[in-house]
Structure 1
Amino acid sequence: MPGKKLTLSKAGLVLVLTLMALTMFVPIVNLFARSLSHPDKVHLLHGYEIWPRGFSLINYQVVLSNPIVGRALLNSLFITITGTLLSILFTTLAAYVLTRKNLVGKTPLMLFLIVIMIFEPGIVQEYMVIKDLHLLDSLWAMVLYRMINVYYLIIMMRFLEDIPESLTEAAKIDGAGHITMFLRIVMPLARIPLLTIGMFYAIAKWNEFFKSSIFLSSPENTVLQVLLRQFVVERDTSALVGAAELLKNSQIAQLDFSSLKAATIVIAMVPILLLYPIILKHYTNGVMEGGVKE
């Protein structure tokens, strides 16, 4: 078939995209290889080799043996999961309200939201608001922080506007209220945008470092990204010192800083990487729904 022929331009495009994918894939695999290499052989790992030299879990053992790291990991998961679910809920609710034709003052509301999106408040103002709400050094400060992103709200609005009005009109005739229409019609039909903005929210919540370092001060409420910066950027090895029995292990003195740093990055990276195949699976299935059936 003519459409199946591999032209020179398509081959060039495939080559370029493959090279671009390798520039992202190889460094990640190299981090795994370096973190899993044996302490005695890690110095043999040069450049971007993707196969570990020897095998050892001592790097992960050192990092995860610190109770602060485990606590920070749980805090990050709580902020990401809870914050993402609340953000999805309230973003969809706001989009549903703003797409109602009989909404009074819709234009001023949209102008207000766009101004907020363009002119973001400064860190001092945000800090004072968090302080007045008595949320300083509370995980809820990061859960509630920027719960609704105006850009994602606009994306959701554009999708909800494409839902046929006949569906909501039929629901109204059957006596359904706004809550019923939102839960029974809007939410099931909005699976694809919900997954999309949910992924965006989850990545933003998980990777948030700057505001976490300001709003969260105690070690009990720290997050993984703050510890990651202390160790990787500031080279503060005391932040990742593990249990006393591990410190007596002779292998600890032989650990390479780069391999220990790689293990720390992998621990912070794996949870969010696992999100992509899950989202992609449902996203692809959702796109295929409604296609032409024979």
Structure 2
Amino acid sequence: MSVQKFSFTKLVLGAVLVLLSLTMFVPIMNLIAKAFSNPSKVHMLHGYDILPKGFSFINFQVVLSNPIVGKALMNSLFITIVGTVFSIFFTTITAYVLTRKNLVGKTPIMIFLIIIMIFEPGIVQEYMVIKDLHLLDNLWAMVLYRTINVFYLIIMMRFIEEIPDSLVEAAKIDGAGHMTVFMRIILPLSRIPLLTIGMFYAVARWNEFFKSSIFLSSRDNTVLQVLLRQFVVEGDTTTLVGAADLMKNNHIAQLDFSSLKAATIVIAMVPILMLYPIILKHYTKGVMEGGVKE
């Protein structure tokens, strides 16, 4: 058993990483503490406190008492889940096609895709396309919007190119077509890259605010990030629907607006944060698990 040597450089590096982690951990925990604090004791919290003062769910009850919040949450989940599934499937199947050696016109196609990646269309052009497709104020506009990211497509192509040709050739000898090869060989052996780009797609779709605020105009089709900005940044107090009754039932004299903001931010953070531990546990497994050795 080899013993790793201790060095001053490793100590300094470890200390820097710990401090860097604290700069992200403490603000998040302070936000959570504020969200769970009793409104009458929130003023006792300092910027470095990570424990709530007088534990209470009243802030979350007030925020979630508005049906618009629940509707926006479900809309965001729908766009994120369905949009991510679409993006993963079409990105992977496009990457499979572009990695075929006998593909005609591969170079011009790649040049075209790279140009699109570098020179993105303007918001006016995108708006006109969505309008012509009759998808304005429709959740499918955000589901179908940028289904394929060229950068993630290139990443997927690199992974697929690493899959041994012998596996594909053996399947073709047995009579498998391209769709069978894609579904039974490419997808199972690309689990790790699929999870990776899937996480990227999911985070991007969940956090999308700007295009959602343009393409979705009605309250019924609003998403959580747009509602979050209206409440936290613009100070829209429509989220306080039913607050008076909740305050009376919980014997609270006055609500703290900053703690309500914190609760709203926590509600927006939790669903996407739950994705990371699910994805990360698969990273230690090999991308070629279940394949044959050459």
Aligned partners of 2:287, 2:168: CA distance in 1, in Å?
A: 22
What do the CA deviations read for 1:129-153 (whole angstroms, capped 9, x no partner)?
0000010000000000000000000
Contact 1:246–1:252 (CA<8 Å) still a contact in 2?
A: no
1:101-140 correspondence runs (5 A): 101-140=101-140
- One-letter amino acid matched to 2:171: A
1:28 equivalent in structure 2: 28
Contact 2:191–2:287 (CA<8 Å) still a contact in 1?
A: no
Contact 1:130–1:136 (CA<8 Å) still a contact in 2?
A: yes
What do the CA deviations read for 1:211-235 (whole angstroms, capped 9, x no partner)?
0000001100000000100011111
Contact 1:35–1:59 (CA<8 Å) still a contact in 2?
A: yes
1:231 equivalent in structure 2: 231
Say which SS state the counterpart of residue 55 (structure 1) adopts: coil
2:70 equivalent in structure 1: 70
What do the CA deviations read for 1:78-108 (whole angstroms, capped 9, x no partner)?
0000000000000000000000000000000
Please tell me the root mean square deviation across aligned C-alpha atoms, in Å: 1.7
1:246 equivalent in structure 2: 245
Say which SS state the counterpart of residue 40 (structure 1) adopts: helix
Higher helix share: 1
Contact 2:97–2:103 (CA<8 Å) still a contact in 1?
A: yes
1:194-233 correspondence runs (5 A): 194-233=194-233
1:98 equivalent in structure 2: 98
Q: Decide whether aligned partners of structure 1 residues 244 and 11 sit closer, same or farther in structure 2, where only a CA change above 3 A counts.
A: closer
TM-score (norm: length of structure 2): 0.94
Aligned partners of 2:259, 2:108: CA distance in 1, in Å?
A: 54
Displacement of 1:160 in angstroms is 0.6
What do the CA deviations read for 1:261-282 (whole angstroms, capped 9, x no partner)?
0000000000000101110011
Q: Decide whether aligned partners of structure 1 residues 148 and 6 sit closer, same or farther in structure 2, where only a CA change above 3 A counts.
A: same
Aligned partners of 2:181, 2:288: CA distance in 1, in Å?
A: 24
Unaligned regions of 5+ residues in structure 2, if any? none
Displacement of 1:189 in angstroms is 0.6
Contact 2:75–2:223 (CA<8 Å) still a contact in 1?
A: yes
Aligned partners of 1:276, 1:149: CA distance in 2, in Å?
A: 21
Identity across matched positions, percent: 76
Aligned partners of 1:170, 1:159: CA distance in 2, in Å?
A: 19
